[in-house]
Amino acid sequence: MTGVLAQGVVLASIPSPSTGVWHLGPLPLRAYAFAILAGIFVAAWMTGKRWEARGGSIDDMYTIVYWAVPFGIIGGRIYHVISSPDAYFGEGGDPLKAFAIWEGGLGIWGAIAFGAVGAYIGCRRTGVRFSSFADAVAPGLLVAQAIGRLGNWFNQELFGGPTTLPWGLEISPDRLPAGYEVGTLFHPTFLYELLWNLAAAALLVFLDRRFRLGHGRVFWLYVVFYTVGRLWIELLRIDPAEQVFGLRLNVWTSILVGLVGVAAFVVQGRRHAGREDSVFVDGDRQVPAPVGAGASAAGDEAVVTDHPTGHDDPTDTVEEGQDQPKL
């Protein structure tokens, strides 16, 4: 942190990066793009670990990701343009910049909605349960979103209102919103959301292990946790956005989607107890074992079968006669 002078008082602050773009010859390297890509790779790695622990095939997981990622990026851009249209279709706007995704601007609601469509297609093609994959990917989504927020920091965008808190964010004079003096500090909403998402991801993993959640309930908890955080963070932001009944569009979206998440979590909990016995639509399907993990020298094909009790790990089993915790 650094110190800035404001009204004669030295305040601690968070500096903004001096640039978000580096050039390798004619090729621009953008921090925003690196943040998005890093988030995708980390989410894919986390999902792979969780998917295998649930009895799924890593090859199937990558096939689903292959469909989900491009759908999510396109959907995220569409939602961003719809929710913040002035820069593209307002006075002095440039409609062609709606396609300039490398300059920043992805709406998480569109990314999740379209990404879910892509994931559903991938699940249908691989024969796995969509709800099982959604549960496996949920914590990774939060971590990816946390990493992606670093791109907003580099771009000096989507910050909150002015503040005198010691973690106020410095903004370059050329990036200051109209009406604010040089040296004004702003709420670092990128940091608030980053920390909220990481904490929510850790809580999801804990609850999933503790209560053996399944049938989409981990995903719906993800929806609830994220929307609760996004609601109060969105209320701090001052960047231009569409207003509906005096509130930002994303505030209403957070409220509505959050309520849907709560309802879906409760309904699924009443319809299905515990976790699925198999992540595959065809419950008899088996996953080939890694080479050397049980295959005989004669080349007999080895398979890893789902645990007959439906447990992913022997340490998760519930002793006979002991009630299983419920959530």
Q: Give me the residues paired with residue 23 across strands.
A: 28
- From residue 152, alpha-carbon distances to 39, 91, 102, 103 in Å are 13, 24, 12, 10
Distance CA 251, CA 235 (A): 7
Number of alpha carbons in the 13 Å side-chain half-sphere of residue 58: 11
Cβ contacts of 141 within 8 Å, gap of 6 or more: 43, 112, 222
Distance CA 298, CA 282 (A): 29
Q: Find out whether 149 is annotated in a ligand binding site.
A: yes
Smallest Cα–Cα separation from 312: which of 293, 292, 287, 281? Answer: 287
Q: Give me the residues paired with residue 30 across strands.
A: 21
Smallest Cα–Cα separation from 200: which of 214, 231, 221? Answer: 221
Q: Coil, strand, or helix at residue 303?
A: strand
* Length of the chain counted residue by residue: 327
Distance CA 327, CA 214 (A): 11
Paired tokens of 77: 């851009």
Distance CA 309, CA 1 (A): 52
Query: Would you give the DSSP letter of residue 98?
Result: G
Instruction: Please enumerate, by residue number, every residue annotated as part of a binding site.
Output: 149
